[in-house]
């Protein structure tokens, strides 16, 4: 991928062996009770351990990310990203592979703005504990991984999707500054991986919308249409973790109480931004978790963050125009909304599909193929309007 000045530069990567030893030592001190609880929390997910077809690949990703984070730890951000930060490409050479870090300083600033320590990021994504895999219901050919603690989500991307993400990155950062409680997925890194002399592959890292996952009962991927939007549910008692779709949600509602107006307004703000980027085919991820008795009602778990809701993010915008809200005193608070009875995990993901010639031709073909039915490939304006209408119709 070509990059403007400063040009790509290549360095020999530091070894993650010390990180491996530290992580192994820490895990060795964990007791039996912790391991049993950990396995229960990962029900339906699969460790990518030795013997798994993706084990070698994920080991390279872990080593590469450990080394990439060493760079950002050695050069922490001192202010918002510059034009040079957005265009930087760093390639680190490892034994048997190369790892590229795209716009590394910009993503380091984003992580800092979320209050995410680089040491924690490195520990979760580097060597030590295997990544997790789940059975995806997505029709794309992408591969999906979770860090062992399920906090971070990794997904392979096509080159054109990465180009779109990087082209939009400055405006994405600006949008999050203006609207710190945005529903947009929090992107944490974009990387490339080339094994030996093979083809360069790309992947992104983001905060998982479905975290912490221990008590989540249902998961959905919503696009606001009907074609190819049904997933056969897992049999009762099955350990599989499936993400269901629009048609599976028929007859259900999201009971948000007084927070409904905030959600509808934030959906308008975020989809208007994506419409301006000429983006479509994104999804609203949703998950449900029953609240315990002591978690219900005002004052039980809510904090009102009035001045700075996300540490490190500052904006000249007035708080009213930023559409701030009550945040739960919980990990991943930006993706959590509490209703009277349920906790909802919500986030807009897959933000890299541009409505270009390929998608316009796909729209014409689907119009002929599915007359009178709704499908995902429509203009960005129609896509945004339809998804907002879906949320309005399914919330109370």
Cβ proximity of 378 and 363 under 8 Å:
yes
Q: Report which of residues 40 and 64 the model is more confident about.
A: 64
Q: What is the pLDDT of residue 298?
A: 58
Q: Report which of residues 294 and 107 the model is more confident about.
A: 107
At residue 13 the predicted structure's pLDDT band, cuts being 50, 70 and 90, is confident
pLDDT tens for each residue of 293-315: 888 865 444 444 333 344 444 45
Q: Report which of residues 164 and 293 the model is more confident about.
A: 164
Q: What is the mean pLDDT of residues 90-113?
A: 97
Q: What is the pLDDT of residue 142?
A: 83
Q: What is the mean pLDDT of residues 9-18?
A: 70
At residue 319 the predicted structure's pLDDT band, cuts being 50, 70 and 90, is low
Tell me the domains of the chain and their CATH numbers. 43-207 (3.30.800.10), 218-296+332-393 (3.30.810.10)
pLDDT tens for each residue of 108-146: 999 999 999 999 999 999 998 999 997 776 666 788 999
At residue 107 the predicted structure's pLDDT band, cuts being 50, 70 and 90, is very high
Cβ proximity of 66 and 121 under 8 Å:
no
Q: What are residue 91's DSSP bridge partners?
A: 10, 100
pLDDT higher than 50, residue 199: yes
The pLDDT mean for the chain works out to 87
**Strands of the 201-207 sheet, one edge to the other:** 9-12, 89-94, 97-102, 187-195, 201-207, 152-157, 144-146, 132-133, 46-47
Q: What is the mean pLDDT of residues 27-46?
A: 47
Q: What is the mean pLDDT of residues 39-60?
A: 81
Q: At 54, phi and psi to the nearest 5? A: -105, 5
At residue 246 the predicted structure's pLDDT band, cuts being 50, 70 and 90, is very high
Q: At 147, phi and psi to the nearest 5? A: -65, 160
Q: What is the pLDDT of residue 318?
A: 60
pLDDT higher than 70, residue 37: no
Global pTM reads 0.86
Q: What is the pLDDT of residue 8?
A: 74
N- to C-terminal Cα distance for the chain? 46
Q: Which residues contact 320 (CB under 8 A, 6 or more apart)?
A: none
Q: What is the mean pLDDT of residues 275-302?
A: 85
């Amino acid at each position: 991928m070509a990059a403007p000045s400063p040009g790509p530069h290549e360095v020999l990567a530091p070894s993650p062996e010390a990180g491996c030893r530290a992580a192994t030592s820490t895990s060795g001190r964990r007791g039996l009770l912790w391991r049993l609880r950990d396995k229960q929390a990962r029900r339906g997910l699969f460790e990518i351990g030795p013997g798994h077809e993706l084990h070698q690949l994920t080991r390279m990703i872990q080593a590469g990310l450990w080394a990439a984070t060493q760079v950002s730890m050695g050069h922490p951000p001192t202010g918002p990203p510059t034009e040079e930060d957005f265009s930087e490409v760093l390639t680190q050479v490892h034994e048997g592979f190369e790892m590229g870090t795209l716009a590394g300083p910009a993503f380091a600033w984003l992580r800092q703005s979320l209050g995410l320590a680089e040491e924690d990021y490195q520990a979760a994504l580097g060597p030590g504990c295997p990544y997790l895999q789940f059975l995806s219901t997505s029709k794309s050919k992408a591969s999906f991984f979770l860090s062992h603690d399920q906090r971070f989500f990794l997904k392979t991307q096509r080159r054109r999707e990465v180009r779109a993400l990087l082209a939009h990155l400055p405006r994405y950062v600006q949008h999050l500054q203006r609207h710190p409680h945005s529903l947009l997925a929090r992107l944490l890194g974009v990387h490339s991986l080339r094994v030996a002399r093979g083809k360069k592959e790309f992947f992104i890292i983001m905060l998982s919308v479905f975290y912490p996952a221990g008590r989540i009962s249902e998961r959905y991927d919503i696009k606001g249409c009907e074609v190819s939007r049904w997933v056969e549910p897992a049999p009762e008692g099955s350990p599989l973790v499936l993400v269901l779709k629009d048609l599976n949600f028929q007859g259900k509602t999201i009971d948000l109480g007084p927070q409904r107006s905030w959600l509808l307004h934030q959906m308008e703000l975020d989809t208007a931004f994506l419409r301006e980027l000429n983006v479509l085919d994104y999804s609203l991820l949703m998950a449900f978790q029953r609240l315990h008795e002591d978690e219900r009602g005002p004052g039980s778990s809510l904090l009102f963050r009035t001045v700075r809701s996300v540490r490190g993010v500052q904006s000249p915008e007035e708080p009213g125009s930023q559409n701030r809200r009550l945040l739960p005193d919980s990990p991943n608070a930006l993706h959590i909304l509490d209703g009277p009875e349920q906790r909802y995990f919500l986030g807009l993901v897959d933000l890299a599909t541009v409505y270009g010639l390929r998608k316009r031709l796909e729209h014409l073909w689907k119009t002929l193929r599915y007359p009178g039915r709704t499908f995902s490939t429509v203009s960005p304006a129609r896509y945004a309007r339809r998804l907002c209408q879906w949320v309005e119709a399914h919330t109370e």
